[in-house]
Chains A and B, each alone.
Chain A
């Protein structure tokens, strides 16, 4: 790691003031490996762990609001999330491994926007709202590209607000070593709307309109038969080719629909 100064912020305003030239530090599950590989060189790390009120899960006005510093384990084991948005609890319970889930946070995951991260699929799939220290950002405008988001420099995610949706499921094909999604598909049916969202396959999370239309007409795995995804532009690495990932997308989507039907 390159040298950095460490700041433990006591409040949101203190954190935002301290961060220019540096990075916010949430659970550190992606930031610390990046620092160890010298992929990042922040002047300072601003630790958010000491800020009161950034972690926690509440039901507010018919939505489930999750604080940015809420750890994956706490979303996965929350009776409230399990009852109101079971697919979100399942997704959180499948991130990384139990040790990563004990440290990693929802705010850190979405702010980092790793192309293989699980949470972006849920945020887009449920059409969540991201609440920062200065504004509210709809999910559709939040994830802008590889490791990129709509967040301005120094803007801090405070909460993520999800609508209550039962009929949804997330199924992924994890890398056997890292447990990151090689391909993960979130299927959400909310009223007449169906969203099919893919993570892990491309540089950034994306929707599949053709799959969504087919499922809006007939919400069953059979409705996806014959639908394919082009391999152009998909990720290619030592874990799998772009063609392999393209093949996995409809397979994971079909499994997700079958799971969601049971809800």
Chain B
């Protein structure tokens, strides 16, 4: 059996015939070659595969592509405006909120959703908000700093968050 799946990815209309078993992350990486979204654990624990579906951060390894039919999907590739990094991306770079970078796309996508819900989080709220994203390099210190810095940047320039 194959199913027709039409959705919007990073503002672009996409229409594909897929085996219904295809995961959203497989659609993104294999069919669309958007390899910025990573697969870490493939068991919905690590958060490397986080993308936005209709504005909500979700684990794309635990969602069928067909469940995203009709939805607007945003991946890490869809955050920057041309050469202008999204404020969360810029903050991760400024604070060196990464080492190997494998978890970073998921961390950033989760952070964008977190800061949209809670524009001024405490350190505790940042750590709780990143509970579903695992980094095995950094010990999280610079990641938490990056989120705090991004929160300030977004509060000062709220238009950037609206565009994500």
Q: Which residues of A contact B (CB under 8 A)?
A: 1, 3-6, 8, 25, 28-29, 32-33, 36, 45, 47, 49, 73, 77, 96-100, 102-103, 177-179
Q: Out of B21, B63, B129, which one reaches A98, CB within 8 Å?
A: B129
Q: Which residues of B contact A97 (CB under 8 A)?
A: 47, 131-133
Q: Which residues of B contact A96 (CB under 8 A)?
A: 132
Q: Which residue of B lies closest to A1 (CB)?
A: B21
Q: Please tell me if the beta carbons of B1 and A28 are within 8 angstroms of each other in the complex.
A: no
B29 sits at the interface (CB 8 A): no
B38: min CB distance to chain A, Å: 14
List which B124-153 residues lie within 8 A (CB) of chain A: 129, 131-133
A32: min CB distance to chain B, Å: 5
Distance between Cα atoms of A32 and B45 in the complex (Å): 13
Q: Which residues of A contact B75 (CB under 8 A)?
A: none
Q: Out of A5, A73, A102, A178, which one reaches B20, CB within 8 Å?
A: A5
Q: Please tell me if the beta carbons of B20 and A32 are within 8 angstroms of each other in the complex.
A: no
Q: Please tell me if the beta carbons of B67 and A49 are within 8 angstroms of each other in the complex.
A: yes
Q: How many residues of B contact A (CB 8 A)?
A: 29
Q: A4-B20, A177-B45 are in contact. Are A98 and B57 (CB under 8 A)?
A: yes
B43 sits at the interface (CB 8 A): yes
Q: Which residues of A contact B69 (CB under 8 A)?
A: 8
Q: Which residue of B lies closest to A102 (CB)?
A: B56
B96: min CB distance to chain A, Å: 24
Q: A4-B21, A98-B110, A98-B113 are in contact. Are A178 and B64 (CB under 8 A)?
A: no
Distance between Cα atoms of A6 and B69 in the complex (Å): 12
B19, B47, B56, B129 pick with most chain A CB within 10 angstroms: B56
Q: Please tell me if the beta carbons of A98 and B44 are within 8 angstroms of each other in the complex.
A: no
Q: Please tell me if the beta carbons of A99 and B57 are within 8 angstroms of each other in the complex.
A: yes
Q: Please tell me if the beta carbons of B57 and A102 are within 8 angstroms of each other in the complex.
A: yes
A3, A8, A97, A178 pick with most chain B CB within 10 angstroms: A97
Q: Out of A5, A25, A45, A98, which one reaches B114, CB within 8 Å?
A: A98
